Structure 1
Amino acid sequence: MQDEKLSALAAAIADPLAHDPGDAPISISAGLADWMLAQRLSLAFTSYQTGQLIVAGVGPDMRLSFDQQNYARATGLCYDRGRLLVGSMFQIWRLENMLRPGHYANNAFDMALVPRTAHTVGYVDTHELALDADDRIIFVNSRYSCLATIDPVHSFRPVWRPPFISALKPEDRCHLNGLAMDGGRARFVTMAGMSDEKDGWRAERAGGGVVMDVASGETAVRGLTMPHSPRVHDGALWLLDSGRGQIVRADIDSGRCEDIAFCPGFLRGLAFSGNYAIVTVSLAREGRFRDLAIQTGLEEREAEARCGILVVDTRSGRIAHSILLGGRFTEMFDVAVLPGVRNPMTVGPATVEMIGAVSIGDEA
């Protein structure tokens, strides 16, 4: 079974057109460009099913501007001071802004993100990414059920694993998937089930998910359904109870949870701008959500699952803005806010533009 999966992944690398989304229709909510300008931000998001990194900003014509590049099975994102980390099928990429302050690319873009380093970690099913207080990359290694960092010799170096995981084996035992940083250190993780057996989490999809405190190894929140993307924001723990379609806020001390908003789709990726939560939503694999409570939520609201980006006002639970993708886009993964950036662009690692993406640093 695992060999078949790896063979399929290898085929996707060999045939990038298999993941080409083509001219996918995009539906943008009215007023989104004005909101992004008012919030002084742009967005980066990934679709691992199509293998795309997409950045969205506001161009000189005051319209939404999109730029997309191919990163095989693009997953987690982390943005920090002009640097963007991108997880992919077997590498973690570091993109840097090559523009100096006040400079523009093509008279339109105030940020040009160029690949500078690719750390080859192998197929470890990289999920979310972060930089710690020492500027060290920390990533969720789902396949080996641990948090890990990069290593100059080996595929990865484990830095933490759940206390019930007895061995580091490529068995995706608990589906560790989300990481919350706080003060430059790993604070919370999400997992779909507390299993120590190969793919054991699958038997606990409904209600078996938890948030775990990294420092203590204690369970902070229980009874979740396929939780993802924990975040510490505004003094609270936030997470996505993805199997129910809910953005959730939890009290850090008590673990008591409050549903903030229902979103029509499978949730992954969570970022904030003040009182707004930005999330990605995806369609169900194989066209249905099976035994997950999100299906009931959709039926009760007479709604259909969507694929794209939602901006949710956490004060009211209202979906304020959206970017909805069609065509071959069915599954999104992560989203990151680029504060202070109006209109970013990226250069892909296997493009003609990469050949000429040359910038000169200060002389030593």
Structure 2
Amino acid sequence: MSTEKTPDPGPTQDGNDKPELDTGLDAVGVEAAAAAPAPANAGKPPRDLTKLKVEKGCSRGLAGWLGQHKLSLAITSYQSGRIYLVGSDKQGRVSFFERIFERAMGVVGNAQRIYLGGLYQLWRFENVLRPNEVIHGQFDKCYVPRNAQTIGDLDIHELGIQANGKVIFVNTKYSCLAELSQTHSFKAVWKPKFISKLAPEDRCHLNGLAMVDGKAKYVTAVCRSDSVDGWRDRRQDGGVVIDVETDEVVCEGLSMPHSPRWHNGKLWLLNAGTGHLGWVDFATKKFVPHTFVPGFARGLSIIGNVAAVGLSKPRNQRFEGLQLDEELKKRDAEPWCGVQIVSLANGDVTNWIRFEGDITEIFDIAFLPNVKNPMMIGLRTPEIRDLITFESDLPPEAPAA
């Protein structure tokens, strides 16, 4: 396994607790966030995300493939609070550039802009470099954090960019799709018809979002539960894909479905509980497996005829109660933490990235076309103070005499 050295990450922002504020805003949808069960790590001291030890390996052909197609990847890991930008440098090596953003989750982007969901903020990064411009002698894109909208801890999952340029996101805690609000934490724009009210209860574990022609079209949910945390009892076969426009369930009987993606007239998704990448047969409302991937599959990005699939290891040694455990045993395989590049033609894994050490889970992935070697400005690096770029409507300055 080849390994790559990464630049030192910038530390994350402070997370100091603040006293609760009684706003009296019941009329606009304020709920008691304590309704849902506390997470398993509640009460434990937070880890120092700057001191995690992570080893990275990749397939020998990855650098050449990324460089040939002028592609990069954005990869998030909420468990380690990392976003990785993976590209290829001038020496033909894989470049890993990482930054720390607490609970980094959904990511979507392109050569100019990246959106990232975090613990209680939704971040917007802008590339400040012009075409053919580089920084530090090697990076062709430099993403600078330009906006962080405070939304609260919504357990934000996947993101999409609508035709009007607005971000839409999966608000998992409130079981709905939402947009940003200028005043409040979010603006709910859709919920499954089986969800009776907006409540901070993560009832069905709404998680994945597929955009079609600039509109939110399909979502995945672990089940159709309308009770607090009800999805945990339906992980084996309660999963569904829902058409946002019609409210119709277009695929059912899934196990922990994630990351639906529309590509070339077909709806691809990850049936994480069994370990399969596959697609939806709309006629039968069934999932058609395409290939097995060794791990909890979450995070999917498709370009051309390949898919990047995110893989995570189990949290407690085993994938308790999921068919994935048996599928791994059947193949005498160990679960991965990483990314596999899979052919949509035949299911072969053509390239891969693997993480070891203090990172065991991947959340989301996004291909960045026309990006060769990207970097990102951290929150506590000198560059965030010193890197100043501007645009101007002033007339051109007269040449010096």
TM exceeds 0.5?
yes
TM-score, normalised on structure 1?
A: 0.95
> Deviation string for 1:194-230 (max 9, x for gaps)?
0000011111100000000001101000000000000
Partner of 1:37, secondary structure, is helix
Partner of 2:322: 292
Asked if 1:133 corresponds to 2:192, the answer is no
Q: 2:398 corresponds to which residue?
A: none
Q: CA deviation at 1:250?
A: 1.7
User: Match of 2:374?
Assistant: 344
**What is the TM-score with the length of structure 2 in the denominator?**
0.87
- Aligned partner of 2:194 in structure 1 is 164
Unaligned stretches of 5+ in structure 2?
Answer: 1-33, 395-401
1:209 aligned partner: 239
Aligned to 1:270: 300
Distance 2:365 2:257 in 1: 16
Aligned to 1:148, which of 170, 175, 178? 178
Quote how far apart the aligned CAs of 1:357 are.
2.2
CA RMSD between the two structures: 1.7
* 2:68 paired residue among 22, 38, 45: 38
Q: Deviations over 1:35-78 (max 9, x none)?
A: 11222201110010000011011011110011100100000001
1:64 maps to what in 2?
A: 94
Query: Given the superposition, is the C-alpha separation of residues 6 and 114 from structure 1 closer, same or farther in structure 2, using an over 3 Å criterion?
Result: farther
Deviations 1:170-194 (A, max 9, x none): 0000000000000010100000010
1:235 aligns with 2:265: yes
Which residue of structure 2 lines up, in the alignment, with residue 82 of structure 1? 112
Structure 2 partner of 1:100: 130
1:53 counterpart residue number? 83
CA drift of 1:308 comes to 0.8
For the 8 Å contact 1:237–1:252, the answer to whether it is kept is no
CA distance in structure 2 between the aligned counterparts of 1:344 and 1:253, rounded to whole angstroms: 42
- Name which of 275, 279, 303 aligns with 1:245: 275
Instruction: Note if contact 1:21-1:328 (Cα within 8 Å) is conserved in structure 2.
Output: no
Q: CA deviation at 1:30?
A: 1.2
Structure number having the greater helix percentage: 1
User: Quick check: which has more Rg, 1 or 2?
Assistant: 2
Give the SS at the match of 1:244. Answer: coil
Q: Secondary structure at the match of 1:33?
A: helix
Corresponding position of 2:217? 187
Q: Which moved more, 1:76-85 or 1:105-114?
A: 76-85
Asked whether the equivalents of residues 236 and 252 of structure 1 are also in contact (C-alpha less than 8 Å), the reply is: no
What is the distance in 1 between the residues matched to 2:45 and 2:147? 24
Residues 345, 292 of structure 1: CA spacing in aligned structure 2 closer, same or farther, 3 A cutoff? same
Pair 303,7 (structure 1): closer, same or farther in 2 beyond 3 Å: closer
* Corresponding position of 1:178: 208
Measured at CA, do residues 276 and 21 of structure 1 come closer, stay the same or move farther in structure 2, by a change above 3 Å? farther
Query: What number of residue pairs does the alignment pair up?
Result: 360
Which amino acid letter does the alignment assign opposite residue 167 of structure 1? K
Equivalent residues of 2:110, 2:369 under 8 A apart: no
Q: Distance in 1 between matches of 2:40 and 2:122?
A: 18
Q: Is 2:123 the counterpart of 1:120?
A: no
CA apart distance, 1:81: 4.5
Instruction: Provide the rounded CA distance (Å) in 2 between the counterparts of 1:118 and 1:216.
Output: 33
Identify if the C-alpha distance between structure 1 residues 46 and 316 changes in structure 2 by more than 3 Å, giving closer, same or farther: same
**Structure 1 stretches of 5 or more lacking a match?**
none
**Identity of matched residues, %:** 42
Deviation at 1:251, TM superposition (A): 3.2
Match of 1:261 in 2: 291
Q: Distance in 2 between matches of 1:263 and 1:165?
A: 32
Q: Are the equivalent residues in 1 in contact too, given 2:210–2:216 (CA < 8 A)?
A: yes
Contact 1:190 1:211 in 2 (8 A): yes
